[in-house]
Amino acid sequence: MARNAEYGSPDASWLLGIMQAFQTTLDIEELVRLCSDHVQPIVPHGGIEFREVSGRTTVRLGETRQDAPRYDVLLVGQPLGELRFTRARPFNETETPLLETVATTLAHPLRNALLYRDAVKAAACDPLTGVNNRASLEAMLEREVGLARRYQTPLSVIMLDVDRFKDINDTFGHLVGDGVLRALARCVSTCVRDSDLMFRYGGEEFVIVLSNTSSEGAALLAERIRTAVAEEPVRWRDVTVPITVSLGVAGLGERDDPEQLLGRADQALYRSKNEGRNQVSVIESAVNRPADAE
């Protein structure tokens, strides 16, 4: 059972420092990371996890253990989620109140971050498919590239396009075409993680941004998406429309900016188109490409 985080008082200057740090970001993952960074010198731990009460967001950093203590993050008695700290040895009676106080201190900043996420998502939503729109891609991709650089983690992009979409519109009409795009977005959403970001880039073209994912991992996901889409024809009244997608994959190179990363994924997509459609292509950064690669 999770423990209610409502007591415990660490050193005032340390607590003030962590409160000030929490005011520097509205990114949920960054908040959890800051929490871990500030707690680590006082209460050493191997991992941290936050799970939103709705299940929409889970952030895990470091190691995870099933028997770790859990603390409810509450705001005016309403649960926002559950915070867990993990390590090999149990936390002692001195450390436990500190962790409980941290969970309480996190409540207001976390509530603000969750509200900000919801507001941004509403403003950035494509009305037809329900995924993020193109206007939001630039800022979100720049943020993800910055986080990948800061923490030295991989980042990849998948760009996908519905094959022969114009023929679908011309043959069946735009209502069916819209249904195809909605069905595609739903299908892709079942293949990706909650932390992955999907955007409608324009027309029948979509972009997926994959944090902490190498180009090899992104290529595997792209193939899974390609297969899932091909196996799910769209049905509209008495019409069945088989659809396929072409996909391009690129991983963040050492010298890439967001525009270069996206541009390489676009090149990979058009390679898939030009080589017959319904396939996945990968184009690596020249910096990251093995010496014996083409």
Give me the active site residues, please: 204
**What gap in Å lies between CA 144 and CA 165, rounded to an integer?**
30
The string of DSSP letters for the chain reads -PEE-------HHHHHHHHHHHTT---HHHHHHHHHHHHTTTS--SEEEEEETTSS-EEEEE---TT--EEEEEETTEEEEEEEEE-SSPP-TTHHHHHHHHHHHHHHHHHHHHHHHHHHHHHTB-TTTSSEEHHHHHHHHHHHHHHHHHHT--EEEEEEEETTHHHHHHHH-HHHHHHHHHHHHHHHHTTS-TT-EEEEEETTEEEEEEET--HHHHHHHHHHHHHHHHT--EEETTEEE---EEEEEEE--TT--HHHHHHHHHHHHHHHHHTTSS-EEE---TTTS-TT--
CB proximity list for 43: less than 8 A, separation 6 or greater? 85, 91, 95, 98, 99
